[in-house]
Chains A and B, each alone.
Chain A
Amino acid sequence: MELSRRTLIAGGFAAMLGGTVAGCSSSMDAGTTKKNASGNIALWCWPGGLGKSVLDDTIAHFPDQHIKYSEVGGDFKQKLLTTFNGGTSIPDITGIKGEDIASMLPQANRFVDLKTIGADSILGDYLDWKVKQATTLDGKVLGIPIDIGPTALFYREDVFTAGGLPGDPAKVAEQMKTWDDFLAAGVELKKSNPKAFIVADAADLYGTIVNQGTARYIDKDNKFIGDQDHIRKAWDTAVKAITLKVDGKTLGGSPDWNAGLDKGTVPTVTGAAWVALDIKAACKTSVGKWRVAPTPSGPANFGGSFLAVTKNAADPAAAFEVIKYMLSADNEAKAFADAQIFPATPAAYDKPQLKAADPFFGGQVPIEVFGPAAKNIPIAYEAPLDSAVATPFTDELKLVQAGKKSSDAAWSSAVQKAKQIGKRQGVQ
């Protein structure tokens, strides 16, 4: 309330009368891109997006390029788009988050097609499905993968064994092959430990299951397919978790979630490799009690980002050299050691940094779970509007979670809302 009261210069009745002024709008034209000053390379990423030692090493490795790194907090995509619109201080190289890449593809003319500056020679080093995410339908490659987010099931070995479930990762994998098995184990666990919910948040579970599929909400012909069986199945599994009462309804990242991880009330997290960092930050007393097992019903991918060269780059070739160096298999392995940034280059999986046993996971070697997962990620087409259309499904599911709506009522209203959002933007 305060800000509005302060910035009162905004407008008023007069605005209604003065509509004529609006005729001259200053829409920036992508065709007239201004080049940045040469001699420097401005590099943007978000906090924790790049490995610290890799970054320092890269800057030192290219002394002539004067790499200037900026860590941009807040909403990264919005900052980037507004900066593009603003037309000044646009970076030469920028990170693009995995969840934003689909919606950035229509902005392809803001970026250099890396194929035109020699990307072909290195694209084969990266996981094919990941490169596809940054490839437009007409074949332009906008970014080189920094990392990927293969999922796994993180769980508390102590809570599992105390609740009559297996504790050993191999046995957990054996018993929890599918989500149905997993939920059944949850019912078992709750019998002896009523405070432990095997599903942290059914709305998250829903998102994971959708990510496990080979189709999403909108197909390549720009048709809405979110009302079909593949989505409904994910929905029904999430609802099953709710009706079996094994859903903890704990929002990921909330104070309850952070506290619950350490206390054992959130005994599992289904998440990407980088979630390990969040878990480690939250846990002080349960160090060594966590384990990693394959995701029930198969791997999925959450996030994993890219580095791209903007059209404003003074010297795109030099910028590409920097990216190439920074994201080599060796350096991606180093970034993993820095901050659990999981490599997108399969060659890195054999490096010592990834082979290391992790005391936080009781001496387990996480790559043994993540490595195979990374290579088996299902490929699904993600339309630019995908995340906008997905929102109503999660929102409505939360109402089922809160006991405010039946599953069927929530489903039909989610479908209807999603269709409407799509229709507004031209989805069939």
Chain B
Amino acid sequence: MTVKWRGVLMHALLAIAGVLCLFPFYWTLVMATNTTSDIYRFPPKFTFGSQFDDNVHAVLRNVAFFQSMGNTAIVAVSTTALVLFFDSLAAFTFAKFRFPGRNALFVILLATMLLPAQLGAVPQFQTMAAFGWVGSLKALIIPAAANAFGIFWLRQYFQNSIHDELVEAATLDGCGFLGIYRHVALPSARPALAFLGIFTFVGSWNDYFWPLIVLTNPDHLTLQVALSSLNRSHGVDYSMVMTGALMAMIPLIVIFTIFARQFIKGATEGAIRG
């Protein structure tokens, strides 16, 4: 096989994989612009229809879409901001300073990643109840405000991307701990922060398990919980459900494409340099 043909084959395979990744989106669009009965016929319909407006109206009629989106945005933005701050501060401390108990604390941090969060759901709910947070968005934001994954991830990054000399020099220049964090750590960690930020934002936006349990107040639903009620009421209208899913995804896609370059760069750096 000549080099040229190998290249063609490779691009063909890569393109097929890309199509498979994007196909569900295309199909979601097709469903959202048609009626349910247009979709369920044989052979299925693969072209866009004209029902999009109707479907959007149906979604808006059935769930408080914009209110839920507002709630979701509040949760996702505040969670992301808190995670970025707390995680980077902790990660930087772990990466560049020595203090008694550092290793033990770090081992505990790693160990916390092993346990499924769902397992604590029952008592965690009771803790929320004791604090009076059940049904409020606080119950989603506060527990998620710092996480082991982010600290672990950023620590790897700080360890490799910031030279010890830089920290020493800053110390000699009279920078305090917070000063070094602000002037040395943050600027150099931008790609890693972008990755963690988007990862957290997407996770928070799409979170389903915990909000479903803790958001008992119907006025304070997040998008995913609201959408799941679309899927369960009488006579499922799949076109409407997919329209709702699509509407919920749009902000994520916009944010992702804006930050994609930074994001993918960040995603690639923490993992390798162990």
Contact = CB atoms under 8 A, between A and B. Distances in A.
The answer on direct contact between A and B (beta carbons under 8 Å) is yes
Contacts of B143: 7, 9
A88 B135 contact: yes
Contacts of B233: 46-48, 73
Contact of B108 (A12, A46, A278, A282): A12
Interface string B214-237: 101111010001101110111111
A2 B134 contact: no
Interface in A5-47: 5-15, 25-28, 44, 46-47
B216 A83 contact: yes
Interface in A256-295: 258-259, 262-263, 274, 277-282, 284-285
A3 interface: yes
A282 B209 CA distance: 29
A292 B55 CA distance: 31
A4 B134 contact: no
B146 interface: yes
A284 B217 CA distance: 36
A86 interface: yes
A73 B232 contact: yes
A7 B113 contact: no
B3 interface: no
A88 B134 contact: yes
B24 interface: no
Interface in B72-130: 108, 110-120, 123, 125-130
A134 B130 CA distance: 31
A196 B111 CA distance: 56
Nearest to B216: A83
A83 to B, nearest CB: 4
Given A86-B134, A86-B135, A74 B229 contact: yes
Nearest to A79: B216
A11 B113 CA distance: 7
B192 to A, nearest CB: 17
Given A73-B229, A73-B233, A262-B37, A4 B116 contact: yes
B49 to A, nearest CB: 14
Contacts of A352: none
Given A12-B112, A281-B237, A83 B134 contact: yes
Contacts of B219: 70
Contacts of A25: 123, 126
Contacts of B256: none
B132 interface: yes
Contact of B112 (A6, A9, A280): A9
Contact of A11 (B63, B112, B149, B200): B112
A13 B37 contact: no
Given A258-B36, A277-B235, A85 B210 contact: no
A344 to B, nearest CB: 19
A34 to B, nearest CB: 11
Given A10-B112, A86-B135, A3 B229 contact: no
A244 interface: no
A94 B115 CA distance: 36
A82 B126 CA distance: 9
A166 to B, nearest CB: 28
B206 interface: yes
B253 interface: no
Binding site secondary structure of chain B: helix
A40 B142 CA distance: 30
A14 B35 contact: no
A82 B216 contact: yes
Contacts of A82: 125, 134, 213-214, 216
A257 to B, nearest CB: 10
Contacts of A71: 218
B144 interface: yes
Given A6-B149, A10-B117, A89 B206 contact: no
A274 to B, nearest CB: 7
Nearest to B35: A284
Contacts of B120: 10-11
Contacts of A74: 212, 225, 228-229, 232
A253 to B, nearest CB: 6
A71 to B, nearest CB: 6
Contacts of B202: 2
B216 A2 contact: no
A291 B230 CA distance: 28
Given A8-B112, A282-B235, A2 B129 contact: no
- The winner among A26, A47, A74 for most chain B CB atoms within 10 A is A74
Contacts of B111: 12-14
B207 A3 contact: yes
Contact of A47 (B62, B110, B225): B62
A255 interface: yes
B56 to A, nearest CB: 18
B204 interface: yes
7 contacts: A5-B149, A8-B117, A12-B115, A86-B134, A89-B134, A255-B40, A259-B40
Interface of A: 2-15, 25-28, 44, 46-48, 70-75, 78-79, 82-83, 85-89, 253, 255, 258-259, 262-263, 274, 277-282, 284-285, 339
The 7 lowest CB-CB distance pairs between A and B, nearest first, are: A73-B229, A281-B235, A12-B111, A259-B40, A86-B134, A6-B203, A11-B115
